[in-house]
C-alpha cells in the first residue's frame, strides 16, 4: 500500500476517535491500539536509502512498496544464494542482517560484505552465468526476491531507478576497496573500529540507530570471518576498544561512547558510502 494512503494527521486521528466511555487501563489500551493503526508508518528502508541517492517519483515509491508487500520472512543462518549457482534474481533485505561470503576448499569462510535493511544483493551478478559469492542470513530477515526480468524492467522504465542502480554498484565497488584495505593494512583493532563506523553510518541512514547505539547481533565467529582474525584476536579487539572507553557492547547492542576517537582509530571517511544527501 502506498505510504500516502496512511498519511493521516493528528487532527484526523482525534476526529476519528468515537465517543466511547471507557475507564482506566481499558481506555488507555483502546486508544493506544487506535493510534497505532492510524499513525503513519515509516517508508520501507529501500525507499529511505534510495531517496538519499536520487529523487524518486511517486511511481518509483509505489513499485518499491509493491516489492515490500511480497517480502517473506527467512530464518537466521539460511543460505539465500549459493556460490557458483545460477543467479535467479537479486535479494532486497527489508529487515535483519545478511552477508555475502566466499568459501575456501577447506571450508573456511570469508565474509565480504554485510547486507543491511535497504540493501540489494549483487545487482550485477544476476546477469552473469554464476554467482561469484554466496549470500546467507545472519539474523532472522524479511526479504524480497527481484528476478532479472523485474530488475531490467524497473531500470528501463525509471530513470531514477536506473541511476540508483549505477550509484549502488559504485558504492559496492568502493566498499570492497575499503574492506580490502582493512584486511591488508590495518590492525585487528583498526579493522573492528572501521567495521563499527561503517555499520553505524549505514544503519543511521535508514533510521535504525538510537543516538550512537545500534543492534549488533553477530557472533564472535561472524566477526572472525569478517575481520580475517583468529578467535583470540577477534576477542581482544573489542576488549581493547572497551578499555579505551570508545565502545560499550552489552546484550548484542553496541554503543559508541566516543565517535571522534573511534573514527580516528579507524581512519574512517564515510564519503565512500555516499550518504551526504541525507545527512549521514
How much is the pLDDT for 153?
85
Tens digit of each residue's pLDDT (9 = 90 or more) over 233-261: 899 999 999 999 999 999 999 999 999 99
pLDDT surpasses 60 at 267: yes
> Measured on CA atoms in the order 234, 235, 241, 244, is the torsion positive or negative?
negative
Average pLDDT, stretch 61-76?
A: 95
Tens digit of each residue's pLDDT (9 = 90 or more) over 29-44: 443 443 333 334 566 8
pLDDT surpasses 90 at 124: no
Domains of the chain: residue spans and CATH:
17-278 (2.60.120.10)
How much is the pLDDT for 277?
55
Find out whether 6 and 44 touch, Cβ atoms under 8 Å.
no
pLDDT confidence bin for 18, thresholds 50/70/90:
very low
Give the DSSP per-residue string, 185-198. Answer: H--HHHHHHHHHHH
- Measured CA to CA, the distance from residue 34 to residue 131 in angstroms comes to 47
Helices 188-205 + 259-266 axis angle, to 10: 120
Tens digit of each residue's pLDDT (9 = 90 or more) over 71-104: 999 999 999 999 988 888 899 999 999 999 999 9
Tens digit of each residue's pLDDT (9 = 90 or more) over 197-240: 999 999 999 999 999 999 999 999 999 999 999 988 899 999 99
CA distances from 81 to 130, 154, 156, 258 (A): 10, 22, 25, 38
Helix (H/G/I), strand (E/B), else coil: 108: coil
How much is the pLDDT for 123?
81
pLDDT surpasses 70 at 190: yes
Beta-carbon contacts of 209 under 8 Å, excluding residues fewer than 6 positions away, are: 200, 203
Beta-carbon contacts of 61 under 8 Å, excluding residues fewer than 6 positions away, are: 2, 3, 43, 47
Amino acid at each position: 500500500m502506498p505510504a500516502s494512503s496512511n498519511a493521516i494527521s493528528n487532527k484526523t486521528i482525534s476526529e476519528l476517535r468515537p465517543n466511547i466511555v471507557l475507564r482506566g487501563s481499558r481506555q488507555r489500551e483502546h486508544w493506544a491500539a487506535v493510534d497505532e493503526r492510524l499513525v503513519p508508518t515509516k517508508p520501507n528502508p529501500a525507499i529511505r536509502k534510495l531517496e538519499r541517492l536520487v529523487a524518486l517519483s511517486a511511481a518509483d515509491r509505489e513499485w518499491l512498496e509493491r516489492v515490500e508487500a511480497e517480502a517473506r520472512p527467512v530464518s537466521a543462518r539460511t543460505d539465500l544464494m549459493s556460490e557458483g549457482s545460477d543467479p535467479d534474481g537479486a535479494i532486497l533485505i527489508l529487515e535483519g542482517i545478511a552477508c555475502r561470503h566466499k568459501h575456501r576448499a577447506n571450508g573456511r569462510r570469508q565474509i565480504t560484505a554485510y547486507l543491511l535493511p535497504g540493501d540489494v544483493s549483487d545487482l550485477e551478478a544476476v546477469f552473469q552465468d554464476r554467482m561469484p559469492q554466496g549470500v546467507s542470513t545472519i539474523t532472522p530477515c524479511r526479504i524480497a526476491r527481484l528476478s532479472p526480468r523485474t530488475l531490467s524492467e524497473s531500470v528501463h522504465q525509471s530513470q531514477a531507478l536506473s541511476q540508483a542502480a549505477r550509484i549502488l554498484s559504485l558504492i559496492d565497488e568502493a566498499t570492497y576497496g575499503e574492506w580490502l584495505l582493512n584486511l591488508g593494512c590495518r590492525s585487528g583493532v583498526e579493522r573492528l573500529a572501521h567495521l563499527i563506523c561503517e555499520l553505524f553510518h549505514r544503519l543511521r541512514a535508514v533510521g535504525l540507530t538510537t543516538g550512537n547505539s545500534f543492534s549488533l547481533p553477530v557472533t564472535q565467529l561472524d566477526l572472525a570471518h569478517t575481520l580475517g582474525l583468529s578467535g583470540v584476536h577477534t576477542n581482544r579487539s573489542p576488549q581493547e576498544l572497551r578499555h579505551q572507553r570508545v565502545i560499550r557492547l552489552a546484550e548484542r547492542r553496541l554503543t559508541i561512547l566516543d565517535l571522534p576517537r573511534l573514527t580516528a582509530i579507524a581512519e574512517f571517511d564515510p564519503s565512500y558510502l555516499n550518504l551526504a544527501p541525507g545527512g549521514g
